[in-house]
Amino acid sequence: MLGSSSGLLPAPPLAKNSKRAIRYKRCTAKEKPVRQPSGGSKKLLCPSRFCFPLRISYNDRVRHGFAISAVLTDDSTMTTVGDDMENIGLLSIDPGLESFKEHFRYRMKRYVDQKKLIERHEGGLEEFALGYKKFGFNREEGSIVYREWAPAAQEAQIIGDFNGWDGSNHRMEKNEFGVWSIKIPDSGGDPAVPHNSRVKFRFMQGNGVWVDRIPAWIKYATVDPASFGAPYDGVYWGPPTSERYEFKFPRPPKPNAPRIYEAHVGMSSPEPRVNSYREFADNVLPRIRANNYNTVQLMAVIEHSYYASFGYHVTTFFAVSSRSGNPEDLKYLIDKAHSLGLCVLMDVVHSHASNNVTDGLNGFDIGQSAQESYFHTGDRGYHNLWDSRLFNYANWEVLRFLLSNLRWWLEEFKFDGFRFDGVTSMLYHHHGINMAFTGDYHEYFSEATDVDAVVYLMLANHLIHNILPDATVIAEDVSGMLGLGRHKL
């Protein structure tokens, strides 16, 4: 994973006597009280001359005097994790990190343990990331099967144009994992839910009130342009074979030195209107190529109801932004880019989500526990500056949702990689708010680090490179965390 704050170039190794490598704070005593998970004040001996507060958010308690924290590594480092927990490649780059060795071991342990759990219960990380073939709307044996994870719902129905928005005959069943499902047989040889028809998930909250929401895994969503302020509707997207776009060109080779053109499709028109994917492909991509760029980074591709957010307040994670066209139109754009020798990166937003209720993922939060929600509960679940919701990366189904989202865009649309937006907010519990990062290692490796989020990013990086070894993966970070971005050596 590359750090965008480093200009896509690997940082030179730091010398032992560099200012950044020696800017530590020493303990003033041999022993220092360390906060325990239970709130106690048991004293732990610091294993070195430096002492750090301990915070454990994992089932296994590790007895050492370092904060539980983590940083991203390149793929070459991660491939050795399962075999040898002692050889952490990052330490060979900067000897100044040696004092944090126990802390990195713990980070690696969290990553390895989570990966093993997924392998044991889901058949592997890549299989786990095929959630879009199970959840949402899918064709199975002459039927449409719809599944939705909503453990807090008391009852559920599927409604839409196909049943006149009356779900009384399309009630769903819930399994022990909180997944609702329904199988709707074809009618007269055709899908019971027609292609390009509107659908919604209707469920009853604990207080007996029924609400309608856009399915979390829906692959297309639209809004009536004639109705100002109207909420989005989910749309079942299952075009016949004759209407599906077929890719004609292979992915171009990964450039050794990427020259990236960042683009917002909607803003690219010379006229005062939202541009389309096909117009961008035909009119803008050739100009980008003519100016010697070899990579295009697309902003605002994932559906977002608030256009002024520039795509950063995502409402529907598996749907393309309908303002510029439908899924087949976006495929045309990417195929056209590949024909010109341009790699295409997606600006992916997994650091937060829109707080919209009627047309966003936040609509599934009805006051349930964090184990039954996509987001953290209480204040931890909100970003005060962005006015958005924050994912609970420790939740099994959240991991499935986000990792599947990456695989969906890689395989269905042939993106060549991702720029992860807002990574600084993910890395720290304080989200970088009111922080002036100085380069002191304690700012990166302390109790402020969100280890759950970092483990997710490590899993994501591993998954992406397993699916597409030559993928370009960029982390947008403004803190300068050590080890976040490096070229694979």
**Which residues, other chains included, contact 446 with Cβ-Cβ below 8 Å and sequence gap of 6+?**
52, 53, 67, 69
476 is an active site residue: yes
Q: Do the beta carbons of residue 234 and residue 198 sit within 8 Å?
A: yes
Residue type, 88: I
The tokens 């970003």 sit on which residue? Answer: 383
Alpha-carbon separation of residue 295 from 261, 350, 474 (angstroms): 6, 22, 13
Closest listed residue to residue 347, CA positions, set 273, 417, 427: 417
126 is an active site residue: no
Residue type, 331: K
Candidate list 421, 443, 452, 477, residue with the active-site label:
421
Q: Do the beta carbons of residue 358 and residue 317 sit within 8 Å?
A: no
Candidate list 75, 347, 476, 477, residue with the active-site label:
476
The tokens 């969290």 sit on which residue? Answer: 110
d(CA 326, CA 457): 29
DSSP string, 127-156: HHTTGGGTSEEEE-SSEEEEEEE-TT-SEE
The tokens 């066209």 sit on which residue? Answer: 325
DSSP class of residue 428?
Answer: B
d(CA 125, CA 400): 9
Give the CA-trace dihedral at 407, 413, 419, 423, to 10 degrees. -40
Catalogue the active-site residues. Answer: 421, 476
